[in-house]
């Protein structure tokens, strides 16, 4: 049994809470901005009612053994306000956010040796504040380290069930960059304000492949092992999706929310610069998304 706090009970936070609940042995705290009376998670195996304490005040939070961060990348600073109390006994922090800069993002708030970056793939939507719909198994990847192995134990019972596949990998760099390569062309959909069917045209397909190629080049410079065929494979993957599939950048734009453009296309540009790698397509996507979100007319 471990005391586990999930900070952010949205789509991913809800999915994680249901996995912890299914593991059946943890004391769960859901740290939210607004009070949450209950959390129900619909999964292919049935509805999971999460039995958790709810805490909305970071100063009143109690120390736990693990903190799982499931907020958006741009909410890192407010998320970190939870750490003082939750991590009072030295709890490590697992960050379930997109992108490749988990450590850099949280460096001002938590020491490097207590932070565990996590890559998660999970088809999930938040239907209401107290209801999340998980449509399939979660694939979770962490690095092969003492922290990564300790984290995997949290889900060891749930791992026997079909709702989660947890991989402790010796090549986490590739896992992170592969996911970023998949996410990079999502910006096209968000810019066009159209679901993934928009990538079926030849011209948009070329742009998507170009964005993946830039991302893969930067990832390789960071040590990721990414095949030359990746742009083609990822485009094929997008084109196999139902044409009305909506990625999170598009969903956020449609809902008038901020998007994670900076942690996705912005990161490709930033890290590319460090290695002297040109990333014109991702630069343009990042600049346009930034301009669209900017309050400056």
The catalytic residue positions are 179
Please say which residue, 32 or 282, places its beta carbon nearer to ligand NAP.
Answer: 32
Query: Structure tokens of 154?
Result: 């949290």
Contact with ligand NAP (CB under 6 A) among 124, 134, 188, 289:
124
Contact with ligand NAP (CB under 6 A) among 10, 150, 159, 197:
10
User: Binding mask 59-98 vs ligand NAP (x if CB under 6 A, - otherwise)?
Assistant: -----------xxxx-x--xx----------------xxx
Under the binding rule (CB under 6 A), the answer on residue 275 touching ligand NAP is: no
Please say which residue, 143 or 205, places its beta carbon nearer to ligand NAP.
Answer: 143
Under the binding rule (CB under 6 A), the answer on residue 122 touching ligand NAP is: yes
Residues near 225 by beta carbon (within 8 Å), at least 6 away in sequence: 171, 174
Under the binding rule (CB under 6 A), the answer on residue 106 touching ligand NAP is: no
What is the C-alpha to C-alpha distance for residues 62 and 92, in angstroms, rounded to an integer? 14
Please say which residue, 86 or 281, places its beta carbon nearer to ligand NAP.
Answer: 86
Under the binding rule (CB under 6 A), the answer on residue 186 touching ligand NAP is: no
Run of H or E including 157:
none
Query: Structure tokens of 114?
Result: 């207590």
Shortest Cβ 132–ligand NAP spacing (Å): 8
Under the binding rule (CB under 6 A), the answer on residue 189 touching ligand NAP is: no
Under the binding rule (CB under 6 A), the answer on residue 40 touching ligand NAP is: no
Residues near 77 by beta carbon (within 8 Å), at least 6 away in sequence: 109
Alpha helix stretches (DSSP H) within 72-201: 76-80, 83-86, 102-106, 146-154, 172-183, 186-192
Q: Say if CB 25 and CB 49 are below 8 A apart.
A: no
Under the binding rule (CB under 6 A), the answer on residue 256 touching ligand NAP is: no
Please say which residue, 12 or 93, places its beta carbon nearer to ligand NAP.
Answer: 12
Q: Say if CB 12 and CB 36 are below 8 A apart.
A: no
At 35 the three-state DSSP class reads: coil
Residues near 255 by beta carbon (within 8 Å), at least 6 away in sequence: none
Which residue reads 């998660």 in tokens?
120
Please say which residue, 97 or 209, places its beta carbon nearer to ligand NAP.
Answer: 97
Under the binding rule (CB under 6 A), the answer on residue 260 touching ligand NAP is: yes
Contact with ligand NAP (CB under 6 A) among 3, 8, 190, 231:
8
Number of neighbouring beta carbons within 10 Å of residue 46 = 7
Q: Say if CB 271 and CB 262 are below 8 A apart.
A: no
What is the C-alpha to C-alpha distance for residues 114 and 147, in angstroms, rounded to an integer? 8
Shortest Cβ 297–ligand NAP spacing (Å): 26
Shortest Cβ 290–ligand NAP spacing (Å): 17
Rg (CA), the chain: 19
Contact with ligand NAP (CB under 6 A) among 25, 33, 149, 274:
33
Contact with ligand NAP (CB under 6 A) among 120, 216, 224, 235:
120
Which residue reads 């790698």 in tokens?
277
Q: Which stretches of the chain bind ligand NAP, using CB under 6 A?
A: 7-13, 31-34, 70-73, 75, 78-79, 96-98, 120, 122, 124, 126, 248, 260
């Amino acid at each position: 049994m471990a005391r586990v706090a999930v900070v952010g009970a949205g789509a991913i936070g809800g999915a994680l809470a249901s996995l912890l609940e299914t593991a059946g042995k943890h004391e769960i705290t859901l740290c939210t901005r607004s009070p949450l009376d209950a959390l129900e998670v619909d999964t292919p195996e049935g509805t999971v009612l999460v039995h958790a304490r709810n805490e909305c005040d970071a100063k009143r939070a109690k120390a736990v053994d693990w903190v799982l961060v499931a907020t958006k990348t741009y909410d890192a600073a407010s998320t970190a306000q939870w750490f003082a109390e939750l991590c009072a006994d030295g709890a490590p922090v697992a960050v379930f956010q997109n992108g490749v800069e988990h450590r850099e993002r949280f460096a001002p708030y938590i020491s490097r040796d207590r932070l565990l970056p996590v890559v998660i793939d999970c088809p999930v939507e938040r239907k209401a504040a107290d209801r999340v719909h998980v449509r399939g198994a979660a694939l979770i990847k962490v690095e092969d380290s003492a922290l990564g192995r300790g984290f995997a134990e949290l889900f060891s019972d749930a791992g026997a069930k079909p709702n989660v596949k947890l991989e402790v990998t010796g090549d986490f760099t590739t896992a992170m960059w592969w996911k970023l390569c998949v996410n990079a062309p999502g910006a096209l959909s968000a810019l066009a304000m159209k679901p993934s069917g928009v990538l079926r045209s030849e011209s948009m397909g070329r742009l998507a492949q170009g964005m993946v190629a830039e991302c893969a080049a930067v990832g390789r410079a960071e040590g990721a092992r990414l095949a030359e065929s990746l742009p083609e494979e990822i485009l094929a993957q997008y084109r196999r999706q139902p044409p009305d599939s909506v990625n999170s950048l598009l969903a956020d734009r449609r809902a008038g929310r901020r998007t994670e453009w900076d942690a996705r296309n912005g990161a490709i540009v930033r890290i590319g610069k460090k290695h002297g790698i040109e990333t014109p397509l991702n630069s343009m996507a990042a600049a346009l998304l930034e301009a669209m979100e900017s309050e400056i007319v």
